[in-house]
Structure 1
Amino acid sequence: MATVARPRSIISVGSAKTGEATRRELYFFNLFRVLQACIYTGLAFSPLAVTWIDLRFPLLGQVNALLFLAFATILFLRTSQMLRHVTGMVSLALVCDIVATVLAIASINEPQSGIAILLMFNIGAGALLLPPRIAGMLAVFGAAALVLGVNIVRYYDAHYEIGPLESLLFGTAYLASYGMFTVLGRQMRATEALAEQRGTDLANLSQVNDMIIRRMKTGVLVVDDANRIHQINESAWMLIGSPKPDLRDLGTVAPELSRRLYHWRTTGKTENRAVALAEDVPEVLPRFTRLSPNETTNVLIFLDDTSLVSRRAEELTLSSLGRLSASIAHEIRNPLAAISYSAQLLAESEDLVDADKRMVEIINNHCARANDVVENILQLSRRERSRPELVDVNAWVNNFVEEYKASNDLGMDLLRAVTQPRLIDGLFDPQQLQQVVWNLVQNAIRYGRLPGEPARVAVVARMIGEKGPPVVEVVDRGPGIPPKVAAQIFEPFFTTHEYGTGLGLYLARQLCEANQAALEYVPVAGGGSCFRITLVTQIAAPAGRA
């Protein structure tokens, strides 16, 4: 749903920004490294302020701390650039962390255990950011570097605080930290992916709901207690007269609807009388409801187009009449067959005078006409679902003309096919297209002729313009159809011929519409008639008309 402006298009749903979670983790990892470097620097330069911290190798400790602080600061400032090469940059940083930590442990006398513990967080963070194999190799490297560094220091100082066993325990703790953070990272990634997928699904569902509401034939508005329109779909926007985008006050946009809303709010009753909310728009029947039982501010307004309700009722009525007509046609068929058969037997009698023979002929003619009506009604009621497929229109027209000539004695009448040298494809159910064109050709041969002259009928396959839709036309050179009659020829049971049923063209148009094609009558300059079938090249979705 949109605001009062003409409804906007749906905003596409996207996922979270690529690397956002990694960027956040890198940021905190680099921030921890800066704090870690500050601790190393403070310890390395602590003899300048206090006397209880002793350095074994002062120059090594101070140079190591300053370089590590500079390195950590640069990484922190370039966190966003690290996203381009996350694995390589994090691996390099973790190697530097291990080296700097081992050198700090070797150069500082007192808090060696605390410094060794800090490295556990670096290895754990690496396990979160790096592939498990690389993170595991770096954890092994950290444990080995610590054990080797401690043993080297103890070679020069046997009274060094961290012993071989303790260094092995720290190394084991590094490996355990790697394993724990690897499992934790896997679970975090899975949870994050699931949350992101759920968020995307929720956004897509919201988009689908928005699209459904926008495409609803029923108008939908959301109005607050200040009588301002918050949201409105396309149907409601048109039913209230297509107001300007800056008009959001319901009293200004649709005074009558505002009055009915006030009446509903004060009395709780809805007026059951249709009203047109603007000029040249259909009448609507407003309905009001709260968004939820606890909602007291916003009101949901439905505008039911009465013309749609009438059309639905008419469609239901026609459907019921169609089923009733089919039932009646079945009941008529049996006595009609008996009458026709009795008339044929009577016609074989040798005692009939000419007047009686004429009466029998009339009976037979009207029985045939009634049977045609019954057949057309039954055809309408049991019409199969269309199965459109791609048809080579040129080849189809040539085959149809040859088949029609082989099945019907044309005598002096002329039927020809007119095709194009280029490929013309269209979608239509071949059997139903055969039925439609057969009916049109029969009508053209029967009625599309000048008095005393043979019929001249052409079945044409062509395209309208260079890139227009494909069409099949049945053209005759007869007297044409008067405009008043042409406006009614597709109506059911309309006929100008004494023995016509008035259902042939109606049934032909119904079959065309079932294939999303169009059948229309086009006058021919200089005399004659043209019935044009405009085919589609792809089947569009039947729903979704705004």
Structure 2
Amino acid sequence: MTADRRARSSADMPGDITRRELYFFNLYRCLEAVVYVALTYSPYAIEWIKLAHPLLGQVASGAYLAVSLALLVGTDRLRARLADGISLALLIDILASSLMLASITGYEAISLMVLVNVGIASLLLPRRAFLFSTIAALGLIAPYFYGHFFDTAFSQPPLETAAIVIAYFVVALLLRHVGLHMRATEALAEKRGVDLLNLEQVNELIIQRMKTGVLLVDASNAILRINESAWHLIGNPPPNQRELGSAAPELSRRLYHWRHSGKTEQTAVALAPDMPEVIPRFTRLAPNDDTNVLIFLDDTSLLSRRAEELTLSSLGRLSASIAHEIRNPLAAIRYSAQLLAESPKLTAEDTRLVEIINNHCTRANDVVENILQLSRRERSRPESIDLNAWVLAFVEDYKQSNDLGGDHLRAVTQNRRLEAMVDPQHLQQVAWNLVQNALRYGRQPNQPARVTVVTRVAADKGPPLIEIVDRGPGIPPKVAARIFEPFYTTHEYGTGLGLYLAKQMAEASQASLEYVPVAGGGACFRITLAPAGSLLTARIAG
């Protein structure tokens, strides 16, 4: 059930209460009508009350009884226009009581019975309480003036009439306050109910999306609740399989052991074939109560990856600190080697040694630069770009900045506009690194490198892609599985950080970088970008 539907269900509750109140209000009206009929038709009542106008009383009481019964039967229809319906019904009550007061002499209880009508109407419709009490007062004053001036048998004291009129206003205003307070309390309770339902839905969604598996098991080992991760880790059992012993026997055995010994086995176990190993943890919902038990399944592979991420993060910060300390002495060594190389007294062997020093200084400086670049990456600032125009400009810029010699670098673009959301600066660094690697390693022996930068879409209406393709020997599968790991390299003078940095920069712009083997030989590095207009926001790099 969605939150909106639950909110509507909660909003119907005050309507049910109002119907009950309205039903008893109509039922009380029928009781009044029965009393009126008894007073005008019963021979016993006629003996101890005075009927000044018997026919008027009998017609008024009979008609009022019929109307009261009709209102009782039509309670649900009356709710369609609640305010107007209650107001009209109260007018009928006051009119009937006025006619009864005009036809019966010396029976003031009728005006007191109307006091209840005024109070209930003010409770149901607090904002009309003053109007109701005013109409009721007029309904009482009218027969008083009629009897005082036209009926010689009329004997009701004016103070008694004034007291009842005041009572109308006091009761109406008092119940108005009570009614407003009740409506405010109902509205607040309704709002709190909707908030609780929404919070329950949010909690349910969070639990369902948790990477940690969560199960709720009762005393009979029946699974009461289970989230997606737990359902996957125990082997995706059928929905009707709610018995833990059948769905995950090993987990049921460990739960039994924990319930009886209080000790949890810390060894990892796979609860289903081809599923990662987990470490189950158990906890009671209430102390000393084994009725319901929460089971948490921690995926050991996720824990390992988190530990690896923390290690790499710490290693990155440590490496950056070391790189700063290495940079100054490295610059002094390199500068001294350059000055030594200019000496005319160097022998051929010494010149070779100086060359070796310069080469290794250059390599060490590249490692330092890559580490510093890794530690000071800035926030990604994605924007919408035309990939075709960007790739053409990139290839032209690369050719002008680098001497390709006999190597070939070309761009292949689409014949239609292809837009993507990416940080152009990050994309420039990633593509530059990939093209440089392709020109350096993506060549057959004794042949020039042939590198192509391609733009296309993954499929019909798929995400935009940039592919850097070469026709070299390709990358062996064992090496390809590790090329994006930091400090992994197969080249003598490689740093092992180029592809790692490229992948990190791509992910900072909500893109992905992957290696794709090429049929017939060669390598392809594919950058999958976010389409223009994507609502994804760039993550903070580093």
Number of equivalences: 533
Matched, 1:327 2:302: no
| Distance in 1, Cα, partners of 2:415 & 2:25 | 72
**Cross-structure match for 2:123:** 128
The correspondence for 2:361, drawn from 356, 364, 367, is 367
Question: Taking structure 1 as reference, are residues 57 and 315 closer, same or farther at Cα in structure 2, changes over 3 Å only?
Answer: same
| Distance in 1, Cα, partners of 2:28 & 2:384 | 67
Aligned-partner residue type, residue 363 of structure 2: R
**Cross-structure match for 1:80:** 76
What does residue range 447-526 of structure 1 map to in structure 2 within 5 Å? 447-448=441-442, 457-476=451-470, 478-479=471-472, 481-484=474-477, 485-524=479-518
The correspondence for 1:147, drawn from 127, 132, 141, is 141
| Distance in 1, Cα, partners of 2:86 & 2:4 | 37
Larger mean CA deviation between 510-519 and 19-28 belongs to 19-28
| Distance in 2, Cα, partners of 1:79 & 1:423 | 66
**Cross-structure match for 1:68:** 64
| Distance in 1, Cα, partners of 2:176 & 2:406 | 91
> What is the Cα deviation at residue 345 of structure 1?
0.7
The correspondence for 2:215, drawn from 211, 214, 221, is 221
* Partner SS state of residue 298, structure 1: strand
**Cross-structure match for 1:239:** 233
Aligned-partner residue type, residue 166 of structure 1: E
Larger mean CA deviation between 400-409 and 313-322 belongs to 400-409
The correspondence for 1:42, drawn from 25, 28, 38, is 38
Q: What RMSD, in angstroms, separates the aligned Cα atoms of the two structures? A: 3.0
Cα pair 2:126 2:180 within 8 Å, conserved: no
Question: Taking structure 1 as reference, are residues 308 and 11 closer, same or farther at Cα in structure 2, changes over 3 Å only?
Answer: farther
Cα pair 1:13 1:207 within 8 Å, conserved: no
**Cross-structure match for 2:165:** 171
TM score, norm. by length of structure 1: 0.88
> What is the Cα deviation at residue 469 of structure 1?
0.8
| Distance in 1, Cα, partners of 2:78 & 2:87 | 11
What does residue range 49-448 of structure 1 map to in structure 2 within 5 Å? 51-111=47-107, 113-130=108-125, 132=127, 134-405=128-399, 407-409=401-403, 415-448=409-442
Question: Taking structure 1 as reference, are residues 246 and 345 closer, same or farther at Cα in structure 2, changes over 3 Å only?
Answer: same
Please give the per-residue CA displacement for 1:258-302, whole angstroms capped at 9, x wherever unaligned: 222222222222223222222222222222222112534222222
Give identity over the alignment, percent: 60
Aligned-partner residue type, residue 43 of structure 2: P
Please give the per-residue CA displacement for 1:225-260, whole angstroms capped at 9, x wherever unaligned: 223222222222222222223323333333332222
Question: Taking structure 1 as reference, are residues 124 and 399 closer, same or farther at Cα in structure 2, changes over 3 Å only?
Answer: farther
> What is the Cα deviation at residue 344 of structure 1?
0.9
Question: Taking structure 1 as reference, are residues 254 and 317 closer, same or farther at Cα in structure 2, changes over 3 Å only?
Answer: same
| Distance in 1, Cα, partners of 2:257 & 2:405 | 77
Aligned-partner residue type, residue 515 of structure 1: S
Cα pair 2:39 2:46 within 8 Å, conserved: no
Higher relative contact order, chain-length normalized (CA < 8 Å, sep 6+) = 1
Matched, 1:14 2:7: yes
Aligned-partner residue type, residue 424 of structure 1: L
Aligned-partner residue type, residue 256 of structure 1: E
Larger mean CA deviation between 140-149 and 169-178 belongs to 169-178
Question: Taking structure 1 as reference, are residues 400 and 44 closer, same or farther at Cα in structure 2, changes over 3 Å only?
Answer: farther
Question: Taking structure 1 as reference, are residues 128 and 229 closer, same or farther at Cα in structure 2, changes over 3 Å only?
Answer: same
Aligned-partner residue type, residue 286 of structure 2: S
Q: Which ranges in structure 1 are unaligned for 5 or more consecutive residues?
A: 1-7
Aligned-partner residue type, residue 76 of structure 1: L
Question: Taking structure 1 as reference, are residues 483 and 45 closer, same or farther at Cα in structure 2, changes over 3 Å only?
Answer: farther
| Distance in 2, Cα, partners of 1:240 & 1:142 | 72
Question: Taking structure 1 as reference, are residues 313 and 525 closer, same or farther at Cα in structure 2, changes over 3 Å only?
Answer: closer
Question: Taking structure 1 as reference, are residues 252 and 127 closer, same or farther at Cα in structure 2, changes over 3 Å only?
Answer: same
> What is the Cα deviation at residue 423 of structure 1?
4.2
Cα pair 2:510 2:537 within 8 Å, conserved: no
> What is the Cα deviation at residue 534 of structure 1?
0.7
> What is the Cα deviation at residue 483 of structure 1?
4.0
Please give the per-residue CA displacement for 1:122-180, whole angstroms capped at 9, x wherever unaligned: 22333333362x44334322212321222112222244243334333323322233322
Larger mean CA deviation between 269-278 and 410-419 belongs to 410-419
Question: Taking structure 1 as reference, are residues 507 and 87 closer, same or farther at Cα in structure 2, changes over 3 Å only?
Answer: same
| Distance in 1, Cα, partners of 2:388 & 2:282 | 57
| Distance in 1, Cα, partners of 2:446 & 2:269 | 59
Aligned-partner residue type, residue 371 of structure 1: N
Cα pair 2:125 2:179 within 8 Å, conserved: no
| Distance in 2, Cα, partners of 1:467 & 1:347 | 59
Please give the per-residue CA displacement for 1:81-130, whole angstroms capped at 9, x wherever unaligned: 2232222222222221211121122122343x221122222223333333
> What is the Cα deviation at residue 56 of structure 1?
2.0
Cα pair 1:473 1:530 within 8 Å, conserved: yes
Cα pair 1:222 1:232 within 8 Å, conserved: yes
> What is the Cα deviation at residue 509 of structure 1?
1.0
* Partner SS state of residue 438, structure 2: helix
| Distance in 2, Cα, partners of 1:407 & 1:114 | 107
Cα pair 1:427 1:539 within 8 Å, conserved: no
| Distance in 1, Cα, partners of 2:538 & 2:201 | 20
Larger mean CA deviation between 135-144 and 393-402 belongs to 393-402
| Distance in 1, Cα, partners of 2:228 & 2:251 | 17
Aligned-partner residue type, residue 503 of structure 1: L
Q: Which ranges in structure 2 are unaligned for 5 or more consecutive residues?
A: none
Aligned-partner residue type, residue 342 of structure 1: S
Question: Taking structure 1 as reference, are residues 242 and 533 closer, same or farther at Cα in structure 2, changes over 3 Å only?
Answer: same
The correspondence for 1:28, drawn from 7, 17, 24, is 24
Cα pair 2:230 2:297 within 8 Å, conserved: yes
> What is the Cα deviation at residue 191 of structure 1?
1.0
Aligned-partner residue type, residue 14 of structure 1: A
| Distance in 2, Cα, partners of 1:457 & 1:33 | 94
> What is the Cα deviation at residue 76 of structure 1?
1.9
Cα pair 2:141 2:161 within 8 Å, conserved: yes
| Distance in 1, Cα, partners of 2:261 & 2:537 | 44
Question: Taking structure 1 as reference, are residues 354 and 384 closer, same or farther at Cα in structure 2, changes over 3 Å only?
Answer: same
Cα pair 1:47 1:53 within 8 Å, conserved: no
Please give the per-residue CA displacement for 1:316-371, whole angstroms capped at 9, x wherever unaligned: 22222222322332232222212211111112112223443333223222211221
* Partner SS state of residue 149, structure 2: helix
